[in-house]
Amino acid sequence: MKAIIGLGNPEEKYRYTRHNTGFLMMDEILKAHSVTLNDKFNSFFGKKGDVLYLLPKTYMNLSGNAVLELMNFYKLKNTDILVIYDDATIEFGTFRLKKNGSFGGHNGIKSIINRLGTDKFDRLKVGVGPVPERIPIDSYVLGNFTNEELLDISKMAIKSVEVIDFWINKGIEATQNRFNGKVI
């Protein structure tokens, strides 16, 4: 089994913020795979074949609680999950896939690392940066995308479906080689 985990915040007021990029990518992935969600693991959860889909409802800072619950229930290994999230240090329109690494200032990833006890899990970082000068990063990531950016986010979400399908079938290294870089 494989699990695709999109990070975000569940309230409607956060729907189109940069910090909700993981949820926005998942919207397209779920649609493309015809996955219906229900409540489980304190998350929006779906299953289609051998693939699990999880959008934690715990808010970003406690994402690890839902991820750990899912992994324990399905007896998943760290190598079975791919976490999708925003990264304000990466140029907007860029995907960066990683096999492991630090939390890089992202509280959702920090929570997952703390709960799993390891930083060794696959990630799809979606570039939403750079942060403009004189704007605190918290304000920037909790700010809404512009209308133009939302059009580009839609294109990125469509591309994320291809990335996820490739990762499921070929693994992280092949996916990195094919998809790391500018998407739009």
CATH number, position 103 = 3.40.50.1470
Residue 96, pLDDT score: 98
Separation CA 115–CA 135 (nearest Å): 31
Residue 159, pLDDT score: 98
Mean pLDDT of 48-69: 98
Mean pLDDT of 23-45: 98
Judge whether 32 and 5 are in contact, CB under 8 Å.
Answer: no
DSSP 20: G
Q: Tens digit of pLDDT for each residue in 61-82?
A: 999 999 999 999 999 999 999 9
Residue 22: pLDDT band by 50, 70, 90 thresholds?
A: very high
Mean pLDDT of 131-160: 97
Residue 175: pLDDT band by 50, 70, 90 thresholds?
A: very high
Is position 106 annotated as part of the catalytic site?
no
Range list of H helices, the chain: 21-32, 63-74, 107-116, 137-141, 147-170, 172-179
Q: Look up the domain containing 163 and give its range.
A: 2-182
Q: Mean pLDDT of all residues in the chain?
A: 97
The number of distinct structural domains making up the chain is 1
Residue 122, pLDDT score: 98
Residue 45, pLDDT score: 98
Burial per residue of 74-96, b for 16 or more beta-carbon CB atoms within 10 angstroms, e otherwise? eebeeebbbbbbbbbebebbbbb
Residue 40, pLDDT score: 98
For residue 126, what are the β-bridge partners? 86, 95
Percent of all residues in the chain with a pLDDT value above 90, rounded to a whole number: 100
Active-site option among 19, 110, 125, 159 = 19
Judge whether 140 and 131 are in contact, CB under 8 Å.
Answer: yes
Whole-angstrom CA distances from 60 to 47, 112, 113 are 22, 10, 13
